[in-house]
Structure formats: C-alpha cells, structure tokens
Amino acid sequence: MKVDGKPYRTIWLGADGTTVQAIDQTLLPHKFVVRDFRTMEDAEKAIRTMIVRGAPLIGAAAAYGMALAMAADPSDAGLKRGYDVLMASRPTAVNLRWALDDLRALLSPLARGKRRDAAYKRAAEICDEDADICRRIGENGLGLIRKLKPRSGERINALTHCNAGWLATVDWGTALSPIYQAHDAGIPIHVWVDETRPRNQGASLTAWELSKHGVPHTVIADNAGGHLMQHGKVDFCIVGTDRTTRRGDVCNKIGTYLKALAAHDNGVPFYVGLPYPTIDWTISDGHREIPIEERSPIEVSRMAGRTASGEVVAVDILPEGSPAANPAFDVTPARLVTALVTERGVCPASEAGLLSLYPEQAKAA
C-alpha cells in the first residue's frame, strides 16, 4: 500500500541484505519512522513491544528474526535459542508458532553454512505469500460486500475493531483488504473504526491507513458500535483474528466478542478475515485452549497523544493507586460468526466449514 504516494510493505530486507527494516507502529499516527533490526534480539523486542504487531506481521517478523539468528550463529544451539526466544515474545497470535516451526523444519536438516541464506530466502517467501494471501482474502470478501444493500443511506457501512489492515500484515490486510478492494472498485463504502482501547490500534493505525488510502471512515468510542447497529447504521462487521480454532472459535483483540454479541442481536453479519497460518488445527475450544496475553496495566492507565503544539506526550488517566487489568484478547465463539473469509474462499465458522476449504487438514483431527 502507499504512504504519501510511495509504495510500502510493513517489513522488508534492507539494502545490505542482512538488516531487516519495518515501520514503527508505536509512533503512528504522529510519526512515520522506519526501524532497523540488526539482531534476533532486535526482532524479538520489536514483536514484544509492538513496534510490529498483528498476527501475520508477527509471523513475518519472527521469520526474519530466525534469519538474523542464523546470521549471528547458525549452530544447532543458535537455532534453538532463536526459536525459543522468539516464541516467547507474544503468546496469542499462532502465526508466530507457525512461522517458527516452518523455519525450524527447513533449517534443522541443513548444514550450518547453508542456514543463513536459506532462512533469509524463506522469510522473504513468507512475506510475499502473506501479501498474496491477503489480496485473495480481499477478493473473496469483496464478493460478500457486493451482495449487501445499505440499511440506511446510499453507502455500505462497515464496522471494524483493532487493526487488521495492511499494517497488521505484510500488505493489504485481512479484515481491511475487502474494504480496500470495494473502495477501489467504486463501491461507496464507509468504515466505523472502533478506537480499540487500551492501545488504540483502531484510532492510531486503522484510521491512519484508511485515510492514507482515501477510504471514508469515522472513529468511534469502543462502546458506540451496539448503538449504531440498533439504528441500522452498520451493514456488516469485519475483524481479523490472532488465532482461530479448527471449529471456528475466533480469538481477536479484546472487545471483539462484545461486537459479535451486538451484531448477533441486531442481525448484522459478522465476518472474520483470516489467512491459513492463523488457523490452529491443534485445538477446538478457543475459550479453554487459547492463551490470552495479559499485558502491562500501564497500557490502561496511561494514554499518549499529540498536544496542540505538536508534541507527543503520555498522560496518566487513573486515580493514583487504582489498579488496572489488561487482558489483550478475547474469544468469540463460532456460533456468533456469520462466515470466515480466507484466501481459499468463504466458509461457515465450523469444523466442517473449514475442512471444506482445507480438506488436507482432516487427518490432523
């Protein structure tokens, strides 16, 4: 996607062929800064501190993290250390495990001297594949949008939560890819953007990337969605996911479940865009089996923003001494999901639905 006319991906290999570069998402929308990752530890810190975030991008960053690990130490011990350190960076997005397992399986049988180049090559392939997958999710979601009739006014109103746009992936996005493709196809579409407390990925990132692409949108407080749905102002919801189980339970940013409940109560379709590495075929019950990341309470108690003079500052918003809790994800049960939108097509959120698109996974049951 383009930033001020210049095409960007979220992560790429630098001109020296070793350093990895990525957009720093902690500074958006106020500053556009590109960070260098020179070591595996840089990549791990970037994932942990959310310089890069979003399930598919976490996977891509982990793949490059393994390449950096191999550049420093291609021994078996270096491979194990890279895998273990990166795996511990964030617990919920299964794309992390998917990418690390992929790299480990590729690199383990290779001689030490071949591991570095093989890891860089595979990381680049994972990035290209993610961009292509997300483009295809967009095409499949566009088919759903074309069937919708606006409930009020002339344009289609979407609602999304968190950021599952191109910033969360290598390019295009998952939930936002159909929206970009609808907009580019001339369909009048407007997006209600949940601000997504506590880290405000909707207000900071989704609004930023939609505005860069010229997609009409309005940021709303997280609590406004149900009211808008009751008044016919939402034609469909679409979100991304960090992990979806084989029976179609969807783990995503905290607050997604409440939007799915409101959508269900109001007969609003609730779609989830996802690439195949986000499906965790090893588990069924998302509520019981998905580890939910508990992040620092400071993300709840402190907010950052730009002052009138342009300075970016952080302020504390709680009474001194009030504790805060910060579960970062929740699980929306499959029964509240109208359909899953994947690179292979659209299916019901169920084991049978997913297996109809991925029959090769039937044996993994």
Max intra-chain CA distance, the chain: 63
| Of positions 130, 171, 242, 280, contacts ligand MRU by CB under 6 A | 242
The answer for residues whose C-beta is within 8 angstroms of residue 21's C-beta and 6 or more apart is: 11, 12, 13, 14, 34, 35, 36, 37
| Of positions 174, 177, 244, 301, contacts ligand MRU by CB under 6 A | 174
| Of positions 53, 97, 115, 233, contacts ligand MRU by CB under 6 A | 53
| Of positions 9, 10, 56, 142, contacts ligand MRU by CB under 6 A | 56
Question: Active site residue: 42, 235, 242, 330, which one?
Answer: 242
| Choice between 156 and 274, CB closer to ligand MRU | 274
- Tokens standing for 110? 């290779």
| Choice between 103 and 341, CB closer to ligand MRU | 341
Helix-helix angle 112-146:55-72, to 10 degrees: 170
Question: Least separation, in Å, of the C-beta of 245 and ligand MRU?
Answer: 15
Give the H or E element holding residue 341. strand 339-342
- Is there binding between residue 240 and ligand MRU (CB under 6 A)? yes
Backbone torsions φ then ψ of 180, nearest 5 degrees = -60, -40
124 class by beta-carbon count within 10 Å (0-12 exposed, 13-18 middle, 19+ buried): middle
- Is there binding between residue 342 and ligand MRU (CB under 6 A)? no
Residue 128 annotated as catalytic = no
- Is there binding between residue 244 and ligand MRU (CB under 6 A)? no
Only one of the segments 103-111, 146-154, 233-241, 335-343 lies at the binding site for ligand MRU (rule: CB under 6 A); that segment is 233-241
d(CA 85, CA 231): 48
| Choice between 116 and 278, CB closer to ligand MRU | 278
- Is there binding between residue 198 and ligand MRU (CB under 6 A)? no
- Is there binding between residue 253 and ligand MRU (CB under 6 A)? yes
Only one of the segments 27-35, 51-59, 99-107, 299-307 lies at the binding site for ligand MRU (rule: CB under 6 A); that segment is 51-59
Number of residues this chain uses to bind ligand MRU (CB under 6 A):
18
Question: Least separation, in Å, of the C-beta of 134 and ligand MRU?
Answer: 8
- Is there binding between residue 168 and ligand MRU (CB under 6 A)? yes
CA distances from 80 to 19, 84, 120, 177 (A): 21, 6, 17, 35
**String of DSSP letters for 165-222:** SGGGSSSS-SSHHHHHHHHHTT--EEEEEE--TTTTHIIIIIHHHHHHHT--EEEE-G
Determine contact, residues 28/52, Cβ cutoff 8 Å: no
Site for ligand MRU in 85-144 (CB under 6 A): 93
| Choice between 221 and 352, CB closer to ligand MRU | 221
The 3-state DSSP class for residue 84 equals helix
CB-hemisphere CA count at 13 Å for 28?
29
| Of positions 10, 157, 252, 342, contacts ligand MRU by CB under 6 A | 252
Give the H or E element holding residue 171. none
d(CA 21, CA 347): 36
| Choice between 157 and 201, CB closer to ligand MRU | 201
Contacting residues toward ligand MRU, per CB under 6 A: 53-56, 93, 162, 164, 168-169, 174, 201, 239-242, 252-253, 328
Residues catalogued as catalytic:
242
